[in-house]
């Protein structure tokens, strides 16, 4: 059971107790195929209902390993030129897909009143590193060109994603800052990201098990992904992050990855990047896609998205 020395919200405690009663096996025990099915089932049970939007449309863009499936979300059936949000899903580079993150993408579009493009990048172990960052970079560059298939005049990108997708958010942003796309990255917004060597942080030991994401699952994901930790496209903080656009970061207080997000936020602040950092206490990794089971996370998500909205308003002013 969750360690009593940590502050745990009531709805989080109830969710963790339910998981303990069910006693399901970890992804490292069941493997990637069953792990993907488990994540879809969890999403169906624990995630909030999708918001109603004017546009939800599947499309694809060319990628280095074939076409990359995408899903476009928009609150408006037609709109003038403006920013587009690119969303990169989590799941340890191994699990997760457009469906698991469908409701969240509708919520992001609804709260920001912006188009969102969700990217279904290739997954490990079938497609280990660098398939995921290659696909995300290709998708970002394609969106930036305002392709006819998108039906939007794109003036800038907001890149966001959670967990492994938070890592890919940082990696994709760095690639586009070093070698610019057709339009700039206006804001990057990683959600409980992997930004450096997670094993060196106290949060890994503190929340190794009993808080949804386990240390054993993380080690297994890392093994499947098979990236070189010395490569900045695997571990962004080993590279140059000095050219980073305005950034919004959030972490969860009960997350083994918490300290990695903290370290990245501090690193950016020390280099003079404009950063809004949220650490939401008493909540677990994955909360943004558990909003039915952990309803208190909805307010945290709203605060995070509000900071993105504020950064965009300042840039536009």
Choose the catalytic residue: 259, 260, 285, 300.
285
How far apart CA 207 and CA 213 sit, in angstroms, is: 8
Choose the catalytic residue: 74, 97, 135, 255.
255
How far apart CA 88 and CA 77 sit, in angstroms, is: 23
* DSSP one-letter code for 34: H
Cβ atoms of 146 and 182 within 8 Å: the answer is yes
| Backbone torsions φ then ψ of 17, nearest 5 degrees | -65, -40
Close Cβ partners of 154 (under 8 Å, ≥ 6 residues apart):
81, 82, 83, 84, 143, 144, 145, 146, 182, 183
Is 285 catalytic? The answer is yes
Cβ atoms of 65 and 309 within 8 Å: the answer is no
Residue 1's alpha-carbon distances to 5, 30, 149, 202, 217, in angstroms, are: 12, 22, 49, 19, 17
How far apart CA 287 and CA 300 sit, in angstroms, is: 9
Dihedral angle computed from the Cα positions of residues 234, 240, 246 and 251, in that order, rounded to the nearest 10 degrees: 40
Choose the catalytic residue: 43, 109, 118, 163.
163
Is 179 catalytic? The answer is no
How far apart CA 173 and CA 179 sit, in angstroms, is: 10
Cβ atoms of 132 and 124 within 8 Å: the answer is yes
The structure tokens 């099915």 sit at 37
Strands 55-61 and 68-74: antiparallel
| Backbone torsions φ then ψ of 143, nearest 5 degrees | -60, -40
How far apart CA 26 and CA 221 sit, in angstroms, is: 11
How far apart CA 199 and CA 182 sit, in angstroms, is: 37
The structure tokens 């990683």 sit at 190
Is 89 catalytic? The answer is no
Catalytically annotated residues: 163, 255, 285
């Amino acid at each position: 059971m969750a360690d009593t020395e940590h502050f745990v919200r009531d709805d989080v405690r109830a969710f963790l107790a339910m998981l303990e009663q069910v006693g399901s096996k970890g992804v490292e025990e069941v493997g990637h195929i069953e792990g993907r099915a488990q994540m879809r089932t969890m999403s169906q049970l624990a995630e909030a209902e999708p918001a109603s939007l004017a546009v939800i449309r599947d499309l694809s863009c060319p990628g280095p390993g074939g076409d990359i499936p995408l899903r476009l979300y928009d609150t408006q059936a037609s709109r003038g030129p403006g920013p587009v949000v690119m969303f990169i899903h989590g799941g340890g580079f191994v699990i997760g897909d457009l469906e698991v993150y469908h409701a969240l993408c509708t919520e992001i579009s609804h709260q920001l009143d912006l188009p969102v493009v969700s990217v279904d990048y290739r997954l490990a172990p079938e497609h280990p590193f660098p398939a995921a960052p290659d696909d995300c970079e290709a998708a970002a560059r394609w969106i930036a060109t305002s392709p006819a298939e998108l039906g939007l005049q794109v003036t800038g990108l907001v890149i966001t994603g959670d967990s492994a997708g938070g890592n890919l958010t940082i990696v994709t942003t760095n690639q586009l800052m070093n070698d610019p796309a057709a339009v700039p990255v206006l804001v990057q917004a990683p959600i409980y990201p992997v930004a450096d060597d997670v094993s060196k942080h106290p949060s890994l030991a503190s929340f190794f098990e009993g808080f949804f994401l386990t240390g054993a699952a993380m080690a297994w994901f890392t093994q499947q992904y098979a990236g070189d930790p010395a490569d900045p496209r695997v571990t962004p903080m080993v590279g140059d992050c000095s050219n980073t656009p305005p950034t919004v970061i959030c972490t969860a207080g009960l997350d083994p990855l918490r300290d990695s997000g903290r370290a990245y936020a501090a690193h950016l602040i020390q280099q003079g990047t404009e950063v809004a950092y949220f650490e939401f206490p008493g909540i677990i990794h994955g909360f943004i896609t558990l909003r039915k089971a952990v309803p208190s996370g909805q307010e945290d998500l709203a605060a995070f998205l509000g900071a993105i909205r504020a950064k965009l308003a300042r840039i536009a002013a």
